[in-house]
Structure 1
Amino acid sequence: MENAGGSFRIKRIYDDPADDDGCRVLVDRLWPRGVTKERAGLELWLKDIAPSPPLRQEFAHMQERFADFRAQYEDELENNPAVEQLLDLAARHKRVTLLYAAKDPEVNHARVPLEFLQDRSS
């Protein structure tokens, strides 16, 4: 989704950086294992956009918990100032890539702010 600035997408941090990633932002609260800062190629590590530790632990990347997790995480995002930081980045960059370490490309926490931000930036 495009806005007056850029678009958002998600990508595993273990995938190689690409020229079309634009502004790379890590959205995990914990640093991913085995990734050096050089390899990550980040513009920003935005821990504050990640789900709260209790919510992250309750979800535990279990697909059957994702719907409940999404609803609770969206509630957290509603009052999270880090959302505004990401919208500001999108206004200045053609693309903002939200990076995550989870193995599942469909059931992971980064999908929630991606869709949340797309809704607010369109």
Structure 2
Amino acid sequence: MADVPGIARQLTMGCFFFKIMTEKLKVPSPKKIKKSKYTHCQFRVRLGARKSAYMMYRGPPVPNVVGLTAKQAVRRITHNCPGLRCAVIRPDEMQTMCYVSNRVCLNVNRYNKVVRAPQIG
């Protein structure tokens, strides 16, 4: 019976210590956290819109180079439109579906002649 008050004292001290520690490590509930003005999706859309407006090609129109060799077509396009990059796509190569506004795709045949009108993207 002499040990019972000692155990009770240790339990009360333990509870007191636990209460102090939990108050120090208290994490705010999600309801109390300040909500930002924009949601994550809105922020992504805003950044994407800004980036695409920056990357838009606003130069002169791409010249028609159907029938020329790939080398001549690249030379003519880079001379008339210096902001564009030319990508020569052979008949057995896969074409990327990624849209880049400063890239011109030139589709050539096996004789290295441009067969389709150049397209930006």
Query: Which category describes the TM-score, using the shorter chain as reference length?
Result: under 0.3
Q: Which has the higher contact order (CA 8 A, sep 6+)?
A: 1
Kindly name which structure, 1 or 2, has the bigger radius of gyration based on alpha carbons.
2
The alignment's TM-score, normalised by the length of structure 2, stands at: 0.23
Greater strand percent: which structure?
Answer: 1
Greater helix percent: which structure?
Answer: 1
